[in-house]
């Protein structure tokens, strides 16, 4: 018995590290398989974001929404099929997520540049998010790679796991903690709202709510664009999430300290009660460098949520559909 115990202990010691290493994401995953992969994605993202800065915010959001439903596995990119309802029509995503066509173009280009189907759609999302941040003035960070793509999606998980713009702080913390993300990660990743825009239909509850803590003058300026009645032509009207929506800066946090957060979830991060989360918001409002560095670190943690690796999943040839068997 002792012999077999020692034997299996030795075998486990030899095999387990190799298995763990095989599953571990690494920044140099494509260095040998396709050295042109990352430069190709960077050039394509920089070109599009240079013309349409809003696309940068959309690519960051696409990666976030992918990771919060089923993990960072590219499932958000799957179209509905006769056997599956995907995540695109989930409440947080429907008529809201953008960038699918650009991801298609990147994937098709990589299939040529890499002489085959090498780079996963999940990795494309992670890399494109980082390149978008850098293109708009944020700090670069090392993206961990080696994810594989899911062969299914879950509308139910997208509906239940992705924070709503109407969530309170307790709800947001709970959803982040479920993915082993901290309160500081919540504050840092919410800082992505320094980019992009929000639609009137997501703002009305905040600007017309009599119990809202929103700055009155700021609310009046928004009411001029977003009328009280829902379902009108202004539902899709866009307002910038901070005063510099095409610049990755600390403006988002500065607006929160002035009670000018655009979304209910934004202002939930700063209540003026001296909490630890309040202190984090103040720190990043005053130190853009700390925000940019911390954001990159938080994005790496986000990108490490339940990745498929090794023989799990597949590398999709077309990001919208699973490979033919």
Query: Do residue 278 and residue 181 come from a single domain?
Result: yes
**Would the pLDDT of 279 be above 70?**
yes
Known catalytic residue: 63?
A: no
Single out the residue of 151, 188, 149, 159 nearest to residue 277, CA to CA: 188
User: Do the domain assignments include residue 17?
Assistant: no
User: Whole-structure pTM over 0.95, yes or no?
Assistant: no
Q: How many folded domains does the chain comprise?
A: 2
Query: Do residue 122 and residue 197 come from a single domain?
Result: no
User: Do the domain assignments include residue 263?
Assistant: yes
User: Do the domain assignments include residue 169?
Assistant: no
Here the tokens at position 198 are: 């929000």
Tens digits of residue pLDDT in 19-77: 333 359 999 999 999 999 999 999 999 999 999 999 999 999 999 999 999 999 999 99
Query: Do residue 152 and residue 45 come from a single domain?
Result: yes
3-state secondary structure of 241: coil
Q: What is the CATH number of the domain that holds 245?
A: 1.10.420.10
- Looking at every residue in the chain, the average pLDDT score rounds to 92
Domain that holds residue 243: 176-301
Please identify which residue in the block is written with the tokens 């017309």: 208
Please identify which residue in the block is written with the tokens 């999943």: 313
Query: What single DSSP character describes residue 194?
Result: G
Of 162, 194, 219, the residue at which a domain comes to its end is 162
User: Do the domain assignments include residue 308?
Assistant: no
Query: Do residue 88 and residue 153 come from a single domain?
Result: yes
Query: Do residue 213 and residue 144 come from a single domain?
Result: no
pLDDT band, very low/low/confident/very high, at 233 (cuts 50, 70, 90): confident
**Catalytic member of 22, 63, 65, 193:** 65
What are the beta bridge partners of residue 148?
308
- Using an 8 Å Cβ cutoff, are 151 and 160 in contact? no
User: Do the domain assignments include residue 48?
Assistant: yes
Query: Do residue 141 and residue 200 come from a single domain?
Result: no
Listed in order, strand segments (DSSP E) in 217-293 are 238-240
């Amino acid at each position: 018995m002792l012999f077999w115990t020692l034997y299996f202990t030795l075998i486990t010691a030899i095999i387990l590290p190799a298995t763990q290493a095989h599953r571990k994401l690494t920044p140099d995953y494509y260095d040998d398989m396709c050295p042109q992969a990352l430069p190709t994605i960077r050039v394509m993202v920089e070109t599009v974001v240079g013309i349409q800065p809003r696309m940068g915010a959309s690519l960051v959001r696409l990666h976030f929404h992918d990771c919060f439903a089923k993990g960072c596995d590219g499932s958000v990119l799957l179209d509905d099929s006769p056997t599956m309802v995907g995540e695109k029509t989930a409440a947080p995503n429907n008529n809201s997520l953008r960038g699918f066509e650009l991801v298609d173009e990147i994937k098709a280009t990589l299939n040529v540049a890499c002489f085959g189907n090498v780079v996963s759609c999940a990795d494309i999302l992670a890399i494109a998010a980082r390149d978008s941040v850098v293109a708009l003035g944020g700090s670069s960070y090392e993206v961990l790679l080696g994810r594989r793509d899911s062969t299914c999606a879950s509308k139910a998980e997208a509906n239940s796991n992705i924070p709503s713009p109407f969530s309170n702080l307790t709800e947001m913390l709970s959803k982040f903690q479920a993915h082993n993300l901290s309160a500081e990660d919540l504050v840092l990743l919410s800082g992505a709202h320094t980019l992009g825009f929000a639609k009137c239909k997501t703002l009305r509850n905040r600007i017309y709510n009599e119990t809202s803590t929103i700055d009155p003058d700021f609310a009046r300026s928004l009411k001029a664009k977003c009328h009280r009645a829902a379902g009108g032509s202004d539902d899709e009207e866009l307002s910038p999430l901070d005063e510099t929506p095409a610049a990755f800066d600390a403006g988002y946090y500065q607006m929160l300290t002035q009670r000018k957060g655009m979304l209910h979830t934004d202002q939930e991060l700063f209540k003026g009660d001296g909490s630890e989360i309040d202190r984090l918001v103040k720190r990043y409002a005053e130190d853009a460098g700390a925000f940019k560095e911390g954001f990159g670190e938080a994005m790496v943690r986000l990108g490490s949520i339940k990745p498929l690796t090794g023989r799990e999943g597949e590398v999709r040839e077309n990001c919208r559909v699973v490979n033919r068997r």
